[in-house]
């Protein structure tokens, strides 16, 4: 019988741990007697046939590296029916019988469309945003929040020296998880997320209360989905006269060596994705749900909204008074 051939690509925004996931796919595939093809630059590379066979050694020395060795893209052409048909044709030409997509929400929507055209696809959640339903964590989120916590510590030093407030804007698109987890771990005075919104008087009150207790700094973590950091700083200065600076962390959150947590998660999810392809499954997403590696219907995942943890949010508010 002919050896089964599968492909792997990374798509959308990169996230630390994607390399560990690629490594897991390639090595689990080869271990099980499959041929594994690496697709460069996401769906864009798929459409244009930027594909090469991966060997065990192709993924050596990458588990600790940030970014993605396969590179990634947000493909406009793949969003069209014509583009997706081209991608499917290329899969046939290369004898690719299954495809593993490591990426986020947008990448999974593309994967589902491919599945509807008849391709066998499995999604692996890789995004720093942690905004995918049916997985407690996405690959890259843990590294990103550790980067933010590190930044909070540094900003806290200078903020204390100058007796200022500092608004730190973090990524996450429409999800507040980076803000919530990093804010809790970093002891921020205020955590602002799109799921809850905010009242500037409450933010000001917390700053004043902290100062009255002798606090030298005030850290406000603001999710990019809420926005308006500079206006908020101006309002705080006008309302309570506290000098307020803004730090936009940006893409620093997407880079760096993945944490052990992200490497383990990526390894487990990548391996499970290959097993699903071997078992003939399609249109599934692998995830870590209630601490177990599991898989879910991709359409269901995309229809559902990731639950925001009110419990953590309330805890963070209590602990930062």
Residues with catalytic roles: 129
Among 58, 75, 127, 218, binds ligand F6P (CB under 6 A): 127
For residues 251 and 38, give the distance between their C-alpha atoms in angstroms, rounded to a whole number.
25
Residue nearer to ligand F6P on the CB measure, 35 or 247: 247
Residue nearer to ligand F6P on the CB measure, 116 or 305: 305
Q: Which range, of 18-26, 43-51, 168-176, 293-301, touches ligand F6P by CB under 6 A?
A: 168-176
Min dist. Cβ of residue 105 to ligand F6P (A):
8
Among 13, 29, 42, 123, binds ligand F6P (CB under 6 A): 13
Among 40, 156, 206, 254, binds ligand F6P (CB under 6 A): 254
List the interface residues with ligand F6P, window 17-76 (CB under 6 A).
none
The verdict on 306 binding ligand F6P (CB under 6 A) reads no
Residue nearer to ligand F6P on the CB measure, 128 or 184: 128
Distance (Å) of CA 248 to CA 17, 148, 156, 235: 23, 11, 15, 18
Q: Which range, of 123-131, 151-159, 210-218, 307-315, touches ligand F6P by CB under 6 A?
A: 123-131
For residues 288 and 268, give the distance between their C-alpha atoms in angstroms, rounded to a whole number.
9
Nearest to 287 by CA among 83, 68, 127, 111: 127
Residue nearer to ligand F6P on the CB measure, 91 or 285: 285
Q: Which residues pair with 286 in a beta bridge?
A: 295
Helices within the chain (DSSP H only): 18-31, 42-47, 81-93, 105-116, 141-162, 177-185, 200-212, 229-240, 260-278, 298-303, 310-319
313: CB partners within 8 A, 6+ apart: 180, 191, 193, 195, 196
The verdict on 172 binding ligand F6P (CB under 6 A) reads yes
For residues 33 and 201, give the distance between their C-alpha atoms in angstroms, rounded to a whole number.
62
Residues that bind ligand F6P (CB under 6 A): 13, 104, 127-129, 171-173, 224, 254
């Amino acid at each position: 019988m002919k050896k089964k051939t599968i492909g792997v690509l990374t798509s959308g925004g990169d996230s630390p741990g994607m390399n560990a996931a690629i490594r897991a796919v390639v090595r689990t595939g080869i271990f099980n007697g499959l041929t594994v093809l690496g697709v460069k630059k996401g769906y864009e590379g798929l459409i244009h046939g930027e594909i090469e066979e991966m060997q065990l050694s192709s993924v050596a020395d990458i588990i600790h590296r940030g970014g993605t060795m396969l590179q990634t893209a947000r493909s406009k052409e793949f969003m069209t029916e014509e583009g997706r048909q081209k991608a499917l044709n290329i899969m046939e030409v290369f004898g690719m019988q299954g495809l593993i997509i490591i990426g986020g929400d947008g990448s999974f929507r593309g994967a589902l469309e491919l599945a509807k055209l008849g391709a066998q696809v499995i999604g692996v959640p890789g995004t720093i945003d942690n905004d995918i339903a049916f997985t407690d964590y996405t690959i890259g989120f843990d590294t990103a929040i550790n980067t933010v916590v590190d930044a909070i510590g540094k900003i806290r030093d200078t903020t204390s020296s100058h007796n200022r407030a500092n608004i730190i804007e973090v990524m996450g698109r429409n999800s507040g998880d980076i803000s919530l987890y990093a804010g809790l771990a970093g002891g921020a005075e205020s955590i602002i997320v799109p799921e809850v919104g905010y009242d500037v008087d409450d933010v000001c009150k917390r700053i004043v209360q902290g100062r009255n207790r002798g606090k030298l700094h005030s850290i406000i973590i603001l999710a990019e989905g809420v926005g308006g950091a500079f206006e908020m700083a101006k309002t705080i200065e006008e309302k309570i006269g506290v000098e307020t600076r803004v730090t936009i962390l940006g893409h620093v959150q997407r880079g760096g060596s993945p944490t052990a947590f992200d490497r383990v998660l990526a390894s487990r999810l990548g391996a499970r994705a290959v097993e699903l392809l071997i078992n003939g499954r399609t249109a599934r997403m692998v995830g870590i749900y209630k601490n177990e590696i599991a898989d879910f219907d991709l359409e269901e995942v995309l229809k559902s909204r990731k639950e925001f943890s009110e419990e953590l949010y309330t805890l963070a508010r209590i602990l930062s008074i």
